[in-house]
Amino acid sequence: MITRAEFKTIAHNGIWKQNTSIVQILGLCPLLAVTTNAVNGIMLSLATIIVMAMSNVAVAALRNFIPHEIRIPVFILIVAALVTVVDLLFNANLHELYLVLGIFIPLIVTNCIVLARVESFAAKNPPLQSTFDGIFMGVGMLWTLALLGALRELIGSGTLLGGIDMVFSGLQPIQLLPESYPGFLLAMLPPGAFILLGCMIAWKNWMDARAAERNRRKPPAPVEALGCH
Amino acid sequence: MMFAPAPFLLKDTSVSRVMTQVCLALVPGIAAYAWLVGPAILVQIVIATLTALFAEALVLKLRDKPLAMFLGDGSAIVTAWLIALTFPPLAPWWLVVTATAFAIIFAKHIYGGLGQNPFNPAMVAFAVGIVSFPALMSQWPQVGLQMPLSEQIGVIFGLVPRVDALSGATPLDALKTALKLGEGSFGVAQLLANQDIYGNFAGRGWEWVSVGYLLGGLWMWQRKLITWHVPAAFVGAMTVLAGSLWLYDPAQFASPLFHIFSGGSLLGAFFIATDPVSGCTTPRGKLIFGAGAGLLAYIIRVFGGYPDGIAFAVLLMNLSAPVIDLLTQPAIFGMKDKS
């Protein structure tokens, strides 16, 4: 069905190498609007994971029956039906959070990540691989949105996991910085999201460059020629 | 006779030399500021300078650049001084530190350091401050504030509670608020008659600070550190717009004189909009840049919600500077002009 190597590649691609937010830079609209705290980012990512896993498996199963010329409208119809399901689920079970996330749950339909994975992976691969691809792409989105949300929240208001009571009633946000922390409002505004996202991209590139450097160093480094470039 | 390749500079114009002269040109303004508004500005300048040098050293180290050469060029110090001059003199220390560090790290070095930044770092710092901490950024001390220096330092470092005497508005902001509250029941002329706030022509104390900037700016022009284009276009455009609105309805709009000598107009015209890195470089481009900044600054400060509009005006013009430069290329010597 699925080899270990295949699984590892799919997971690595989704979580790190082709991360939706910091490599493909897809889905910036929910990213900017929703990540004012970690909880919102995580919950929207969870909704996206559900949609992506289900739409990938549906499209992969139907890939041989969908006429190539009209595949995009068909994909959109499948995704829209699944998003409606998730939308109703959120409305019924997490109503307060549903009000906060608002339009961004229905907007998962138009999220480029979902359509991109359906078009570039699920339409060409068997259902099992496509399911894992959907899940791991979603997990990649989850950790970046969670990290970005947590950073914005921490810098902007000094708390962590604000709004957690909307998911698990009884839990309280953590006040990490002292009460007198004035709050760096910029982090909560869209420019702050862009700046912090830029920092995260820089961090990822730095990690990759460091890893590449380490791999390159393994064999004895060739003597660098003196001269000018 | 000496043979040398271009550029044919008449005298040694290193970056550090230019920056030292810019700092010197700021001295009359700073002196007037410290004398009339309060010596706390000197404390802020020290805080901003130390932060800027520290942040610069930190980023240079991260980027593996030579420390001494770039730290010694003085550009970080000019940025720091401009930030200190645009922030309220009794702002808490961390506000100036945060804004200065942001300016050096994000506005300057993320883009590649000196000469590469598309936005004026000092104005980015101001925009970050006013967007993130609007309340603290609008608390200006009343002019003639009787407070010993030790107590002012205490306020800056949070040792002494912030009292009401600190939470004044700039003359510019005060006039706008008064006009809004008055709903036309009293005109600009009646309001400006209150010399305790508005002084002789553009705000008690502040008008002379502006005169100090003007003197420093004219000296920079005389030394050929800046050309006349940007300041003249800035002041000219502001005068034309403010003047026509003033002639149209003198009860609603203050005179051009008031607008040019209040707020950061002259500091902006001579020291900020003339930034060679983030501004335009062609002569016609400089005229457009200065005029655009002056017009936008007037529109933002009079019709907008912020106390002053220089920072946003300059940032918006920074954004359009590459296009302006592209469209205003001068004809090459010996070639026929395209138009």
Tokens 């598309």, residue? B118
Query: Predicted confidence band at B212 (pLDDT cuts at 50, 70, 90)?
Result: very high
Q: Is some CB atom of chain A closer than 8 A to the CB atom of B271? A: no
User: Does A188 have pLDDT greater than 70?
Assistant: yes
The pLDDT mean for chain B works out to: 85
The total of structural domains in chain A comes to: 1
State pLDDT tens for residues B268-324.
999 999 988 898 999 999 999 999 999 999 999 988 888 888 999 999 999 999 999
Would you call B132 and A185 a contact, using CB atoms and an 8 Å cutoff?
A: yes
For range A89-117, the mean pLDDT: 87
Query: Predicted confidence band at B10 (pLDDT cuts at 50, 70, 90)?
Result: low
Q: Is some CB atom of chain A closer than 8 A to the CB atom of B110? A: yes
Q: What is the dihedral of CA B8, B14, B19, B24, to 10 degrees?
A: -80
pLDDT of residue A97: 85
User: Shortest Cα distance from A186 to chain B (angstroms)?
Assistant: 5
Q: Is some CB atom of chain A closer than 8 A to the CB atom of B133? A: yes
A18 located within any domain: yes
Would you call B128 and A182 a contact, using CB atoms and an 8 Å cutoff?
A: no
Q: Is some CB atom of chain B closer than 8 A to the CB atom of A182? A: yes
pLDDT of residue A227: 45
For range A204-229, the mean pLDDT: 73
Nearest CA in chain A to B107: A195
The pLDDT mean for chain A works out to: 86
Range with the lowest mean pLDDT among A158-162, B1-5, B61-65, B246-250?
A: B1-5
Beta bridge partners of B140: B168
Range with the lowest mean pLDDT among A194-208, B175-189, B213-227?
A: B175-189
Would you call B133 and A189 a contact, using CB atoms and an 8 Å cutoff?
A: no
User: Does B146 have pLDDT greater than 70?
Assistant: no
Give the best-scoring range by mean pLDDT among B13-17, B61-65, B276-280, B312-316.
B312-316
For range A76-88, the mean pLDDT: 93
Q: Is some CB atom of chain B closer than 8 A to the CB atom of A190? A: no
For range B22-50, the mean pLDDT: 90
B224/A163: higher pLDDT? B224
Cα–Cα distance for residue pair A31/A135, rounded to 1 Å: 18
A161 located within any domain: no
Nearest CA in chain B to A155: B132
For range B199-228, the mean pLDDT: 86
User: Does B6 have pLDDT greater than 90?
Assistant: no
Cα–Cα distance for residue pair B67/B58, rounded to 1 Å: 9
| Closest by Cβ to B133, choosing from A182, A195, A198 | A182
Would you call B133 and A198 a contact, using CB atoms and an 8 Å cutoff?
A: no
| Closest by Cβ to B128, choosing from A182, A186, A198 | A186
- Scanning B160-263, the segments in alpha helix (DSSP H) are 171-182, 188-192, 195-198, 206-222, 229-248, 256-261
Q: Is some CB atom of chain A closer than 8 A to the CB atom of B328? A: no
Cα–Cα distance for residue pair B214/B228, rounded to 1 Å: 13
Query: Predicted confidence band at A228 (pLDDT cuts at 50, 70, 90)?
Result: very low
Would you call B132 and A198 a contact, using CB atoms and an 8 Å cutoff?
A: no
Respond yes or no on whether the N-terminal peptide bond of residue B7 is cis (omega within 30° of 0): yes
Would you call A195 and B131 a contact, using CB atoms and an 8 Å cutoff?
A: no
Respond yes or no on whether the N-terminal peptide bond of residue B161 is cis (omega within 30° of 0): no
Question: A182: which chain B residues are within 8 Å (Cβ-Cβ)?
Answer: 133, 136
Question: B98: which chain A residues are within 8 Å (Cβ-Cβ)?
Answer: 184
Cα–Cα distance for residue pair A129/B330, rounded to 1 Å: 60
A157 located within any domain: no
State pLDDT tens for residues A32-58.
888 888 888 898 899 999 999 999 999
**CB distance B313 to B300 below 8 Å:** yes
Q: Is some CB atom of chain A closer than 8 A to the CB atom of B97? A: no
A84 located within any domain: yes
Q: Is some CB atom of chain B closer than 8 A to the CB atom of A185? A: yes
Question: B106: which chain A residues are within 8 Å (Cβ-Cβ)?
Answer: 195
For range B190-194, the mean pLDDT: 70
Question: B133: which chain A residues are within 8 Å (Cβ-Cβ)?
Answer: 182, 185
Range with the lowest mean pLDDT among A45-49, A168-172, B21-25?
A: A168-172
User: Shortest Cα distance from A201 to chain B (angstroms)?
Assistant: 13
A220 located within any domain: no
Query: Predicted confidence band at B7 (pLDDT cuts at 50, 70, 90)?
Result: low
Q: Note which residues in 196-215 of chain A have CB less than 8 A from chain B.
A: 198
Q: For residue A185, give every residue at least 6 positions away whose Cβ sits within 8 Å of its Cβ, in sequence order, or none.
A: A156, B131, B132, B133
pLDDT of residue B320: 94
Query: Predicted confidence band at B255 (pLDDT cuts at 50, 70, 90)?
Result: confident
For range A2-12, the mean pLDDT: 87
Q: What percent of chain B has pLDDT over 90?
A: 43
pLDDT of residue A176: 77
Would you call A186 and B132 a contact, using CB atoms and an 8 Å cutoff?
A: yes
Q: What is the interface pTM, i.e. ipTM, of the complex?
A: 0.81
A222 located within any domain: no
First to last CA, chain B: 40
User: Does A120 have pLDDT greater than 60?
Assistant: yes
Nearest CA in chain A to B94: A182
User: Shortest Cα distance from A145 to chain B (angstroms)?
Assistant: 22
Question: B136: which chain A residues are within 8 Å (Cβ-Cβ)?
Answer: 182
pTM: 0.85
Would you call B131 and A198 a contact, using CB atoms and an 8 Å cutoff?
A: no
Q: Is some CB atom of chain A closer than 8 A to the CB atom of B126? A: no
Structural domain span for residue A33: 4-150
Cα–Cα distance for residue pair B262/B170, rounded to 1 Å: 9
Would you call A186 and B136 a contact, using CB atoms and an 8 Å cutoff?
A: no
Would you call A182 and B136 a contact, using CB atoms and an 8 Å cutoff?
A: yes
A162 located within any domain: no
User: Shortest Cα distance from A199 to chain B (angstroms)?
Assistant: 10
User: Shortest Cα distance from A212 to chain B (angstroms)?
Assistant: 18
User: Does B9 have pLDDT greater than 70?
Assistant: no
State pLDDT tens for residues B76-103.
999 999 999 999 888 889 999 999 999 9
A127 located within any domain: yes
Give the containing element (helix H, strand E) for B84: helix B75-86
| Closest by Cβ to A195, choosing from B106, B133, B136 | B106
For range A105-130, the mean pLDDT: 89
State pLDDT tens for residues A134-146.
999 999 999 999 9
pLDDT of residue A111: 83
User: Does A78 have pLDDT greater than 90?
Assistant: yes
User: Shortest Cα distance from B129 to chain A (angstroms)?
Assistant: 9
| Closest by Cβ to B131, choosing from A182, A189, A195 | A189
State pLDDT tens for residues A192-211.
999 999 999 999 999 999 99
